[in-house]
Amino acid sequence: MRGSRKILSAGRSIRCAKKMVNQEHKDREGSVAALTEEENLSQEGQETNQPGYDASAIDVLEGLEAVRVRPGMYIGTTGPKGLHHLVWEIVDNAVDEALAGHCNKILITINEDESCTVEDNGRGIPTGIVEKTGKSAVETVFTVLHAGGKFGGGGYKVSGGLHGVGASVVNALSERLEVLVSRDGKLHKQIYLRGIADGGLQILGDTESRGTKVTFWPDDLIFHDVNEDNERIKIYFEWETLAHRLREMAFLNKGLCIILTDNRPGKGAGKSETYHYEGGIASYVEWMNDTRDALHKPPIYFDQKANDVTVECALQWTTVYQESIYSYVNNINTHDGGTHLTGFRNALTRIVNDYARKNGHLKEADSNFTGEDIREGLTAIISVKVPNPQFEGQTKERLGNREVQGITQSLASESLSDWLELNPKPAKEIVNKIIQAKKAREEAAKAKNLVRRKNELSGGGMPGKLADCSEKDPERCELYLVEGDSAGGSAKQGRDRRFQAILPLRGKILNVERVQPSRIYDNTEVQAMIQAIGLVTLQEDEDGNTKSGGLLRPNAENLDLAKLRYHKVIIMTDADVDGSHIRTLLLTFFFRYAKPLVEKGYVYIAQPPLYKVEKGKRIEYCYNEHKLEAVLAEMGDKAMIQRFKGLGEMMPEQLWETTMNPETRTLKQVSVTDASDADHVFDLLMGEAVAPRRQFIEENAHKVGNLDV
Ligand code: 2B7
């Protein structure tokens, strides 16, 4: 089940945590000659700050050899991510040619031998000699680091990736690269081996077409992964990774036709998909909402420009409760938002409130809608094109340019208020939905206050079923969410009460996907979790001060992490269908209402054994069928096997030894790797729409062996 694996790829075991950390470390830095951060910094310092640096050192640094020595500095990793990065660098150049208005088709093909071909129908890279390098423009692009900036002039104002320096990096990291350029009636070709030209730019003959075609063979000396035993393994292009990004690229660049083909025998066997959306991001919003009921069709869409900044937005309200807003700058996803997103949100809040007041939906005595009321059920894409984007924040995924906020806000305000005026019927539907959201928020606040008062009366404020630990430092505390009272009992007896707390959950918990947000506070089990874990949000009051104690809302980013009482929340359910159902419901709750908890890596899944195999004094616990077979093969048929049906069947010491003891247990950490895919799959699996869910399950049933959730 690909989708789910992506969302909650839970495969990280604590036992081999150390190994994994090492592996990731390598992956990040690139392995050929990884420098420490300090060394990197001092190199950089030398280049920019120190007087009297040695020019020849700079030459070496700037040459492609530097890329091969420190690939991590240029493409981030030499693992799977880095390998795919090569494709993005080449594709970005083709997309830039499309953005400049000279190309409308890009073909990406994974070839039989794990090489990759990218082809566009643009003008073709110029073939004439560049004075400064004495080489053809083609050769300059592929062999001179930072050549990109010197090219294209005005045509390449906005760009993602490494701003056109990517081609030479890809070339340096490829064992072989071939470029074909069709231009001025001639077909040209040049070959490079590990970045070095193998002969000049040849003319092969005449042609009537135009465009650029690049095939590269990633260098196995550079790209590899490490398995659990620290052995090098080859990495391969992944269809899903390529398809996801290329589809997104096509949505973000309306009219651009992108075709992905996988010609690897077995793996792809000629599979091909075309991504081409005349509706651009409006099609993207429709695509994301295909499992939801839209309040209006088509999505609201506008595309405007002011001062060199292009602002494109598509938005559509649905009957669901969570908001799904994704923002982009120059085709790059800004996960942490930034000035463009702030501008859009401000416009939305202001314009909808104005409209509601003007049309009598909000009376004088009524308070305004909050931004959250308005965004409930909203799916939106904000895509801006900015000449010199400044990315900020830890992951450089937040747009910093101040001027963009005002531009986005005023363009969005104008377009939104026009749309509301021109479309009174859907506008009314939307406002009605927002009024419901406001009511629900006000009710939930009352419900929460009631609960708080009740708890204050009963003292302590913790749910009665919680067996808490004595340690108070959240970093050291673990909370086990256990299915059923009997397993809860075993866990309470088996635990180390100093740092392990137990919360038994009775029966099925609420499917939060199907209820109004305020209702989650009515459900005893959810309520108990909220209190025990310490799930509250940070909220801004009207004076702009932040205070804690806010309600949980779907997809809210503002969880108050300082109030968390445990940094490990461990789901411990039986290894059967009921258990996995409860686990899915819990994950849905965390994913929707406390996503930062998942993002922080605080949610885990316990791995109880399925079998106990005993022979004489020797006892082995088996966590899967595979291990059972291996153990049986070793111990022979005299061994008399016990299959655990549920956690409740285990003795407290057994539960401790196999599942809870940090020295011996295995925990799977739940992570969100792709929020938008995750959103989609959660909708499918947990939402109302039956037909797409059935289709998804049918399509993915055969992959269930891999199911990590
Ligand atoms: C910044 C550098 C990399 N370049 C051009 C012109 C067209 C062009 C390119 C390209 C990837 C694989 C197929 C400009 C820009 C170099 O200068 S790169 N097309 N396509 C590409 O790399 N596709 C160009 C001005 C006039 N004529 C051509």
Residue that is last in its domain, among 230, 259, 275? 275
End-to-end CA distance of the chain: 9
Q: How many CB atoms lie within 10 A of CB 523?
A: 17
Q: Are residues 78 and 124 in the same domain?
A: yes
Place of tokens 């060394």: 39
Active-site annotation holds for 308? no
- CA 100 to chain CA centroid, nearest Å: 29
Q: Are residues 269 and 288 in the same domain?
A: no
Q: Is residue 625 part of a domain?
A: no
pLDDT of residue 707: 35
pLDDT of residue 46: 32
pLDDT of residue 97: 95
CATH number at residue 541: 3.40.50.670
25-29, 377-381, 587-591: lowest mean pLDDT where? 25-29
Give, using CA atoms, the residue closest to atom 23 of ligand 1.
94
Q: How many CB atoms lie within 10 A of CB 128?
A: 10
Q: Which atom of ligand 1 is nearest to the CA of 156?
A: 1
* Distance separating alpha carbons of residues 171 and 75, to the nearest angstrom: 12
* Distance separating alpha carbons of residues 115 and 473, to the nearest angstrom: 51
Q: Are residues 237 and 287 in the same domain?
A: no
What whole-number percentage of the chain has pLDDT above 90?
55
State yes or no: pLDDT of 697 exceeds 60.
yes
Q: Helix (H, G, I), strand (E, B), or coil: what is residue 406? A: helix
Q: Which atom of ligand 1 is nearest to the CA of 164?
A: 1
* Distance separating alpha carbons of residues 402 and 309, to the nearest angstrom: 12
* Distance separating alpha carbons of residues 264 and 271, to the nearest angstrom: 9
Q: Which atom of ligand 1 is nearest to the CA of 102?
A: 7
* Distance separating alpha carbons of residues 122 and 209, to the nearest angstrom: 10
Comparison of pLDDT for 701 and 222, the residue scoring more: 222
* Distance separating alpha carbons of residues 402 and 136, to the nearest angstrom: 40
Single pTM value for the model:
0.71
Which DSSP category does 16 fall into? Answer: T
Q: Are residues 200 and 257 in the same domain?
A: yes
Task: Give residues with Cβ within 8 angstroms of 83, minimum separation 6.
Answer: 218, 223, 235, 237
Cα of 94 vs centre of ligand 1, distance in Å, is: 7
Whether the CB of 141 sits within 6 Å of ligand 1: yes
> What is the pLDDT confidence band of residue 581, given thresholds at 50, 70 and 90?
confident
Which DSSP category does 615 fall into? Answer: E
Whether the CB of 213 sits within 6 Å of ligand 1: yes
The dihedrals phi and psi of 246, each to the nearest 5 degrees, come to: -70, -35
> What is the pLDDT confidence band of residue 54, given thresholds at 50, 70 and 90?
very low
Lookup: tokens for 212: 């650029």
Whether the CB of 152 sits within 6 Å of ligand 1: yes
Whether the CB of 156 sits within 6 Å of ligand 1: yes
Q: Are residues 405 and 520 in the same domain?
A: no
Cα of 102 vs centre of ligand 1, distance in Å, is: 10
Give, using CA atoms, the residue closest to atom 1 of ligand 1.
148
- CA 664 to chain CA centroid, nearest Å: 31
> What is the pLDDT confidence band of residue 21, given thresholds at 50, 70 and 90?
very low
Q: Helix (H, G, I), strand (E, B), or coil: what is residue 524? A: helix
Which DSSP category does 481 fall into? Answer: E
Q: Is residue 50 part of a domain?
A: no
pLDDT of residue 508: 65
CB 611 within 8 A of CB 643: yes
What's the rounded mean pLDDT across residues 21-44? Answer: 29
State yes or no: pLDDT of 585 exceeds 70.
yes
State yes or no: pLDDT of 577 exceeds 70.
yes
pLDDT in tens, 600-610: 999 998 999 98
Identify which of 108, 169, 212, 246 to mutate to test ligand 1's pocket (most ligand atoms within 8 A of the CB): 212
Which residue type sits at 380? Answer: A
Lookup: tokens for 499: 């740092």
Query: Which H or E run contains 668?
Result: strand 667-669
Q: Is residue 195 part of a domain?
A: yes
Lookup: tokens for 616: 């004489």
- β-pair partners for 295: none
Nearest to 590 by CA among 670, 651, 698, 506: 670
Nearest to 296 by CA among 407, 160, 423, 158: 423
Whether the CB of 483 sits within 6 Å of ligand 1: no
Q: Check 576, 629, 653, 699 and give the catalytic one.
A: 576
Whether the CB of 608 sits within 6 Å of ligand 1: no
Name the burial class of residue 214, with classes exposed (0-12), middle (13-18) and buried (19+) by CB atoms within 10 angstroms of its CB: buried
Q: Are residues 410 and 493 in the same domain?
A: no
pLDDT of residue 87: 97
Whether the CB of 279 sits within 6 Å of ligand 1: no
Query: Which H or E run contains 419?
Result: helix 402-422
Place of tokens 């730019």: 201
Number of structural domains found in the chain: 3
pLDDT of residue 455: 58
Whether the CB of 122 sits within 6 Å of ligand 1: yes
Cα of 211 vs centre of ligand 1, distance in Å, is: 9
* Distance separating alpha carbons of residues 59 and 67, to the nearest angstrom: 12
Q: Which atom of ligand 1 is nearest to the CA of 159?
A: 1
Whether the CB of 88 sits within 6 Å of ligand 1: no
Q: Is residue 627 part of a domain?
A: no
* Helix axes of 239-252 and 281-288: crossing angle, nearest 10 degrees: 130
* Distance separating alpha carbons of residues 322 and 557, to the nearest angstrom: 12
* Distance separating alpha carbons of residues 435 and 376, to the nearest angstrom: 11
Whether the CB of 286 sits within 6 Å of ligand 1: no
pLDDT in tens, 166-213: 899 999 999 999 999 999 999 999 999 999 999 999 999 999 999 999
Which DSSP category does 267 fall into? Answer: T
Q: Is residue 209 part of a domain?
A: yes
Q: Are residues 323 and 240 in the same domain?
A: no
* Distance separating alpha carbons of residues 328 and 212, to the nearest angstrom: 27
Cα of 184 vs centre of ligand 1, distance in Å, is: 14
Q: Are residues 531 and 663 in the same domain?
A: yes
Torsion of CA 220, 225, 227, 232, to 10 degrees: 30
> Residue 265 belongs to what domain range?
70-275
Q: Are residues 423 and 491 in the same domain?
A: no
Task: Give residues with Cβ within 8 angstroms of 473, minimum separation 6.
Answer: none
Taking all residues of the chain, what is their mean pLDDT, rounded to a whole number?
Answer: 83
Task: Give residues with Cβ within 8 angstroms of 531, minimum separation 6.
Answer: 455, 461, 462, 463
Q: How would you write 93-123 as a 3-class SS string?
A: HHHHHHHCCCCCEEEEEECCCCCEEEEECCC
Give, using CA atoms, the residue closest to atom 6 of ligand 1.
125
Cα of 120 vs centre of ligand 1, distance in Å, is: 9
Cα of 175 vs centre of ligand 1, distance in Å, is: 22
Whether the CB of 167 sits within 6 Å of ligand 1: yes
Whether the CB of 119 sits within 6 Å of ligand 1: yes
CA angle 155, 161, 167 (to 5 degrees): 80
Active-site annotation holds for 483? yes
Query: Which H or E run contains 604?
Result: strand 603-606
Name the burial class of residue 543, with classes exposed (0-12), middle (13-18) and buried (19+) by CB atoms within 10 angstroms of its CB: exposed
For strands 568-572 and 603-606, give the pairing.
parallel
pLDDT in tens, 337-373: 999 999 999 999 999 999 999 999 999 999 999 998 9
pLDDT of residue 159: 39
Residue that is last in its domain, among 224, 242, 275? 275
Q: Are residues 250 and 290 in the same domain?
A: no
Identify which of 89, 96, 168, 170 to mutate to test ligand 1's pocket (most ligand atoms within 8 A of the CB): 96
Task: Give residues with Cβ within 8 angstroms of 106, minimum separation 6.
Answer: 91, 94, 95, 98, 118, 119, 120, 256, 257, 258, 259
State yes or no: pLDDT of 11 exceeds 60.
no
Q: Check 120, 376, 478, 483 and give the catalytic one.
A: 483
State yes or no: pLDDT of 38 exceeds 50.
no
Q: Helix (H, G, I), strand (E, B), or coil: what is residue 596? A: helix
Furthest-apart CA pair in the chain: how many Å?
89
For strands 232-233 and 225-226, give the pairing.
antiparallel
Active-site annotation holds for 576? yes
Q: Is residue 317 part of a domain?
A: yes
pLDDT of residue 285: 97
Q: Check 578, 614, 649, 674 and give the catalytic one.
A: 578
pLDDT of residue 675: 52
Length of the chain: 709
Q: Is residue 638 part of a domain?
A: no
> What is the pLDDT confidence band of residue 237, given thresholds at 50, 70 and 90?
very high
For strands 378-385 and 324-329, give the pairing.
parallel
pLDDT of residue 132: 87
pLDDT of residue 447: 75
What whole-number percentage of the chain has pLDDT above 70?
82
CA atoms within 13 A of residue 615's CA, in its CB half-sphere:
10
Lookup: tokens for 617: 């004094």
Give, using CA atoms, the residue closest to atom 11 of ligand 1.
94
Residue that is last in its domain, among 420, 440, 460? 440
Q: Are residues 98 and 188 in the same domain?
A: yes
The per-type count for the chain, helices as H runs and strands as E runs, is 23, 31
Helix, strand, coil percentages, rounded to 5, for the chain: 45, 20, 35
State yes or no: pLDDT of 574 exceeds 90.
no
Nearest to 115 by CA among 77, 87, 73: 87
Cα of 95 vs centre of ligand 1, distance in Å, is: 10
Q: Check 139, 574, 657, 679 and give the catalytic one.
A: 574
pLDDT in tens, 126-168: 999 998 889 999 999 999 886 554 444 333 333 344 445 689 9
Comparison of pLDDT for 611 and 28, the residue scoring more: 611
pLDDT of residue 266: 84
Name the burial class of residue 426, with classes exposed (0-12), middle (13-18) and buried (19+) by CB atoms within 10 angstroms of its CB: middle
Peptide bond into 298 cis (omega under 30): yes
What's the rounded mean pLDDT across residues 647-666? Answer: 91
* Helix axes of 675-686 and 577-593: crossing angle, nearest 10 degrees: 130
Name the burial class of residue 154, with classes exposed (0-12), middle (13-18) and buried (19+) by CB atoms within 10 angstroms of its CB: exposed
> What is the pLDDT confidence band of residue 637, given thresholds at 50, 70 and 90?
confident
pLDDT of residue 701: 53
Lookup: tokens for 558: 């503002």
Whether the CB of 102 sits within 6 Å of ligand 1: no
Q: Are residues 311 and 412 in the same domain?
A: yes
Whether the CB of 594 sits within 6 Å of ligand 1: no
pLDDT in tens, 435-471: 999 998 888 888 777 766 665 555 457 888 999 999 9
* Distance separating alpha carbons of residues 149 and 164, to the nearest angstrom: 6
Cα of 212 vs centre of ligand 1, distance in Å, is: 7
What's the rounded mean pLDDT across residues 464-481? Answer: 95
Q: Is residue 662 part of a domain?
A: yes
State yes or no: pLDDT of 49 exceeds 90.
no
Query: Which H or E run contains 190?
Result: strand 186-193
